[in-house]
Amino acid sequence: MLETTQPETAFHSLRGAATLAIQSADLDEKTALAQTAAIRWHERRLSLRSPLDPPLPDRPGRPAKPELVPPKAVGKRSLHTLPGRIALLHALAHIELNAVDLALDIVARFATEPVPHSFFDGWMKVAYEEAKHFRLVRDRLRELGADYGDMPAHDGLWQAAHSTKNNLTARLAVVPLILEARGLDVTPSLQDKMRETGDIESADVLKVIYDDEKGHVAVGAKWFRFLCAREKRDPAKAFQDLVRANFRGQLKAPFNDVARAEAGLTPSFYRSLSSKNNSSV
């Protein structure tokens, strides 16, 4: 990992650092805290928990903008126009920002779970990379004359994850194995469309994100299978039961089966839950 700007905020443990990063409404501070905490944790310069840790907030800190609206109110635009590409990058920045907080939340919220320290190694690497992704996308927006906050966004990602706040196995099913895995399905075609329009810089940002997201889904799959083995549950069946109980809607085909399988998420997990599969029954 590369060093990053050191935030001035003091913290006493990994859980404390993750909580402070989630709380921060300053997005430069949030991403710097996430990356600094990841570095210090991997160097074993932090304890996991401390009695001085602040309480975990119900919602992450956010700046005044963007305005949060219902998902259907976020319009779609053609990628063949500059406003359309900016709209896509803005939506992507919002996804990556939520991903930073979700990776930090799984660390802070479940810091008392009986799991190996390598669980937190994996999720802090995810948090570090999600912070990198947000910065990459925001920098690209600025190069195009825009910035994060210029357009409305929706709160669906955080709401979907918040429903699993009391169940680590369910959280793993919903966040990495549904929400992150969806990125493996859609990002390759978005890269191609960006290249078709001549926006090579944005396509290159999408490639960095795609390559890292494979690892994020793999972290989720590894620990989901670990917990299922400990609970003597069949992973695919447990995934389907947890998704039906904790996720609204159906999983959308088409799926990038190859990338999903490389990350440890085989079709036996998700095929029976897809809208395409169910519509043909």
Give the start-to-end residue ranges of the domains of the chain: 14-50+76-279
Q: What pLDDT digit, counting tens, does each position of 14-55 carry?
A: 999 999 999 999 999 999 999 999 999 999 999 999 999 999
Q: CA gyration radius for the chain?
A: 18
Q: What pLDDT digit, counting tens, does each position of 123-164 carry?
A: 999 999 999 999 999 999 999 999 999 999 988 778 777 889
Residue 9 to residue 56: CA distance in whole angstroms: 16
Nearest one of 161, 53, 62, 163 to 108, comparing CA atoms: 53
Q: What pLDDT digit, counting tens, does each position of 244-281 carry?
A: 999 887 788 899 999 999 999 999 999 999 865 543 32
Nearest one of 9, 21, 203 to 105, comparing CA atoms: 21
Of 178 and 280, the one with more pLDDT:
178
For helices 27-42 and 82-109, what crossing angle results, to 10°?
50
pLDDT, position 217: 98
pLDDT, position 279: 38
Phi and psi at residue 274, in whole multiples of 5°? -80, 150
What percent of the chain lies above the pLDDT cut of 70?
Answer: 94
Residues 6+ apart with CB under 8 A from 280: none
C-alpha distance from residue 279 to each of 121, 173, 174, 250, 269 (Å): 40, 23, 22, 10, 18
Of 67 and 140, the one with more pLDDT:
140
Rounded to an integer, the average pLDDT of 200-220 is 97
pLDDT, position 265: 95
Q: What is the DSSP string of 40-53?
A: HHHTT-S-S--TTP
